[in-house]
């Protein structure tokens, strides 16, 4: 079998216990060592403390693996040759034997195949700034339109074009739910100045919404946009300076394709003197907590 689910997760899924999927691109390409491995392990711990079973996902040794050991995660955090996988190249990593970290899109696909309905990450990919020239639009958006998994994220990374990202999600029929807020959050900042299409204030309401969508056979997933805790946010005005500078760096360096998002995250980390990483870690932890609550509400 190409898809290998850990023994713990097979038992949990058979018993219909709550499970939360976790991506690994953030481990291999989104954060530096050692914060990447520390965060990956901490997030698994938060899901467990919240009463759900964590399911980190990656391609290792020609297998799509659901449920990783600490050693697997360390390998993904340390190795330099890990591919960044989306729908287009998931099967390529399997047949070539290349180790691969899964993006939001690839993690959603694997989670759905394994029967996992809730997934926590930092921020989804979206429409890049300058997309009218570059056509750079993350495959995460089309995946949300077709794959039935609820993704809990702090919105889309603010280095993107957030108004265009929301327009695209609307076009694709993807519900965008702000959690406990009227606004679509801006990743490092609680507010983007953009109104979220839907607001819910607790996990039970989100579970009821997911069930109503299933009853109507609407298909596809949804985005739960969970603002970073106030104590950890970097105000949007301050972030904008760093984002604009990082964006200019990426154009000057001629970065394109899959390399764009990791390049920008790293440039922003350097320009904020590491503060963006501290906020990134805080928001992922917060998303893991909320995802566990939703998984529990769906399981009961």
Evaluated on CA atoms 296, 143, 125, 57, the torsion sign reads: positive
With CB under 6 A as the rule, give the number of residues binding ligand PSU: 18
**Per CB under 6 A, 147 contacts ligand PSU:** no
Whether 157 is catalytic? yes
* Position 26 contacts ligand PSU (CB under 6 A): yes
Residue 164, number of CB atoms within 10 A of its CB:
17
Beta bridge partners of 237: none
The residue count for the chain:
300
Contact 146, 174 (CB under 8 A): no
As a dihedral over the C-alpha atoms of residue 121, residue 123, residue 127, residue 128, rounded to 10 degrees, the angle is: -120
Minimum CB separation of residue 23 from ligand PSU in Å reads 5
Instruction: Kindly identify the residues of this chain, within the stretch 89-108, that bind ligand PSU according to CB under 6 A.
Output: 103-104
Q: Which does 185 bind (CB under 5 to 8 A by kind): Mn ion, ligand PSU, none?
A: none
Four-residue CA torsion sign, 292, 67, 3, 98? positive
Rounded to the nearest angstrom, the gap between the alpha carbon of residue 59 and the centroid of all alpha carbons in its chain is 17
- Classify the phi-psi angles of 274: left when phi > 0, otherwise alpha if psi is within -120 to 50, otherwise beta: left
Smallest gap from residue 31 Cβ to ligand PSU (A): 7
Our finding on whether 250 is near ligand PSU (CB under 6 A) is: no
Distance CA 10, CA 252 (A): 48
The reply on whether position 155 binds ligand PSU by CB under 6 A is no
Of the pair 23, 72, the CB lying nearest Mn ion is at 23
Annotated catalytic, 258? no
Q: Which stretch binds ligand PSU (CB under 6 A): 14-22, 88-96, 118-126, 216-224?
A: 118-126
Region of 7-15, 110-118, 120-128, 168-176 interacting with ligand PSU (CB under 6 A): 120-128
Measured from each CB, the residue nearest to ligand PSU is 30
Which residues are at the interface with ligand PSU (CB under 6 A)? 23, 25-26, 29-30, 103-104, 122-123, 125, 138-140, 157, 258, 261, 265, 280
């Amino acid at each position: 079998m190409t898809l290998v689910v850990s023994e713990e997760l097979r038992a949990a899924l058979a018993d219909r216990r709550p499970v939360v999927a976790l991506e690994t691109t953030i481990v291999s390409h989104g954060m530096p060592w050692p914060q990447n491995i520390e965060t990956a392990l901490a997030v698994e711990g938060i899901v467990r403390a919240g009463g759900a079973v964590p399911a980190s996902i990656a391609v290792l040794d020609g297998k799509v693996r659901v449920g990783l050991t600490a050693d697997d995660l360390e390998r993904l955090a340390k190795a330099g040759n890990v591919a960044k996988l989306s729908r287009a190249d998931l099967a390529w990593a399997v047949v070539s034997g290349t180790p691969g970290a899964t993006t939001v899109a690839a993690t959603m696909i694997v989670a759905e195949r394994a029967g996992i309905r809730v997934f926590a990450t930092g921020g989804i990919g979206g429409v890049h700034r300058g997309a009218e020239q570059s056509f750079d639009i993350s495959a995460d958006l089309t995946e949300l339109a077709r794959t039935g998994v609820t993704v809990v994220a702090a919105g889309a990374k603010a280095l993107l074009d957030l108004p265009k990202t929301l327009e695209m999600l609307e076009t694709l029929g993807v519900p965008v739910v702000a959690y406990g807020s009227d606004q679509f959050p801006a990743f490092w900042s609680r507010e983007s100045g953009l109104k979220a299409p839907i607001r819910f204030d607790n996990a039970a309401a989100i579970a009821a919404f997911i069930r109503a969508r299933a009853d109507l056979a609407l298909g596809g997933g949804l985005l739960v946009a969970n603002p970073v805790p106030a104590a950890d946010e970097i105000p949007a005005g301050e972030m904008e300076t760093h984002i604009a500078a990082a964006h200019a760096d990426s154009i000057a360096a001629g970065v394109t394709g899959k390399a764009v998002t990791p390049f920008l995250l790293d440039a922003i980390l350097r320009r904020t003197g590491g503060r963006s990483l501290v906020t990134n870690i805080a928001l992922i932890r917060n998303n893991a907590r909320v995802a566990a609550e939703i998984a529990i509400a769906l399981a009961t």
